[in-house]
Amino acid sequence: MTWDTALTRQFGLRLPILAGGLQWLADAPYVSAAARAGVLGFVTAASFPDPDDLRAEIRRTRAAVGDLPFGVNVSMLPKLVPGEQTEGIFRLIAEEGIKVVETSGRNPERYMPLLKELGLTVIHKVPAVRYALKAQSVGVDMVAIVGAECGGHPGMDMIGSFVNAAMAGRDLDIPFLIGGGVGHGSQLVAALAMGATGVVMGTRLLVAEELTAHVDYKQALVDASERDTALTMGSVRNTIRTLANETTAEVARMEAETPDITIHDLLPLVSGQIGRQAYATGDVSRGMLSAGHALGLTDRIEPMADIIARIEAEAASSFRGLRTMAGPGGSGTG
C-alpha cells in the first residue's frame, strides 16, 4: 500500500509512524533503524546533557542514514528554570541541519518565534486534546496526542487514545498524531480513519534489536502483558506509567501512607539514573521503566525493519477488511 498523509508527504516517509523520543534509549542506532524502516525517529536531547555529546550523536545518526529524515526530541521541564539550555539546544539542532523537533513538557509558545526563524517544523506532544488546542493556537505545525495507555507520562486527565482521536478529528485544524497503546497495524488504520495523520509508537519498539539495551530488559518486555504496568506519582501531579516492579510497589506504598509527600521524598526511588541501570544490566526489578499497554503486543525481539513490516502488513490486512465490509460499491485510499 501507499500511505499518503500530511506526515508522510512532509518528511518523505514510507509509513505514517513516529517513533517517539525515549529517554536514554533513542540514540543513533535506534533512530537510524527507524529511518531505514521508513518511519520518523527522534534522538532524545535530554539523554545527552553535554551539547557537544548531542551534536556528536546527531552527526553519528546522519552518517548512518544519509538523507533519510530524522528529528530531535526536546523535553522541556514544566516550568522555566535558571540556566535552562533549551534555546541553545534548538540552535544546535538547526545548525546540524535537522528540520523537525518533537517538543514536550510545557507550552512551547516562548520558543515559537525562534523555532520558526530557525526553519524547524514543530511536532508538540501532549496528553490530551485541550493541550493540543493550546499548542495549535501558538503556532505548532503538528501535535502528537498520547493517551492514558502510554508508557511514560499520560498527564493528569487520563483520557484514552480512542477518545482523544475522535475529539481531535472534531476540534483540531492542524495535523495530529495519536499515541498511547499503539502497537498494531489495525490501530494505524483506525487512527487514520478518525482523521489522524499518523500514529506515535514507543513501547512497541522497545523490543527492536537495534535498541541499545540489555537483551534481558527486552525479553522482560516480551514476557510482560498489558496488565503488567503500574501508575504512580499521581500524588505529586507527575503521573507515570511504568513496568510494574519492586520500585513501583514501594512508591505506591509511600504515596498511600504519606499525605504530604513531595517529589523530593520519591527521588531516591524514581531517579532516572536508577532506571538507566536496568537498560544496561537487564535487571528490571528496580527503577521507573516507562512502558504502556502496548506490552500486550510485544511478542518477540526482532529488527526494527521487521517490526515495522509486520505493522504494515497488519494495516494492509485491516484496510482490506474494511473494503470488504463496505460491500461491492466500497472504496478507500491508503
Each domain of the chain, given as residue ranges in start order, spans 6-205+303-325, 215-293
Do 177 and 265 meet the contact criterion of CB atoms below 8 Å apart? Answer: no
Q: What percent of the chain has pLDDT over 70?
A: 96
Instruction: Report the SS3 class of residue 242.
Output: strand
In contact, 12 and 193? CB cutoff 8 Å:
no
Predicted pLDDT of residue 108 = 95
Residue 151 DSSP code: S
Backbone angles phi, psi at 329, to 5 degrees: -95, 5
pLDDT digits (tens, 9 = 90+) for 190-234: 999 999 999 999 999 999 999 999 999 999 999 999 999 999 999
**Predicted confidence band of residue 333 (pLDDT cuts 50, 70, 90):** very low
Cell of 239: 503521573
Question: What percentage of the chain has pLDDT greater than the value 90?
Answer: 89
* Residue of 286, 245, 240 whose CA lies nearest to 263: 240
CA distance 78 to 181: 24
pLDDT at 10: 96
The grid coordinates listed for 170 are 472534531
Instruction: Read off the pLDDT band of 126 (50, 70, 90).
Output: very high
- The pLDDT of residue 328 is 65
CATH of 6-205+303-325, one of 3.20.20.70, 1.10.1300.10, 3.30.70.270, 3.50.50.60: 3.20.20.70
Helices and strands in the chain, H and E counts? 13, 10
Is residue 331 over pLDDT 60? no
Q: All 3 cell numbers of residue 203?
A: 513501547
Q: Is the dihedral of CA 263, 265, 270, 272 positive or negative?
A: positive
Predicted confidence at residue 334, as pLDDT, reads 37
- The pLDDT assigned to 47 comes to 93
pLDDT attached to residue 207: 98
136 — pLDDT class (breaks 50, 70, 90):
very high
Taking residues 240-248, report their average pLDDT. 97
Residue 81 has a pLDDT of 65
Tens digit of each residue's pLDDT (9 = 90 or more) over 34-48: 999 999 999 999 999
User: How large is the average pLDDT for residues 166-193?
Assistant: 98
Q: Is pLDDT larger for residue 133 or for residue 328?
A: 133
Assigned C-alpha cell, 288? 521507573
Q: Which pLDDT band holds residue 332 (cuts at 50, 70, 90)?
A: very low
Angle between helices 51-65 and 28-36 (to 10 degrees): 30
Q: Could you tell me the pTM of the whole model? A: 0.94
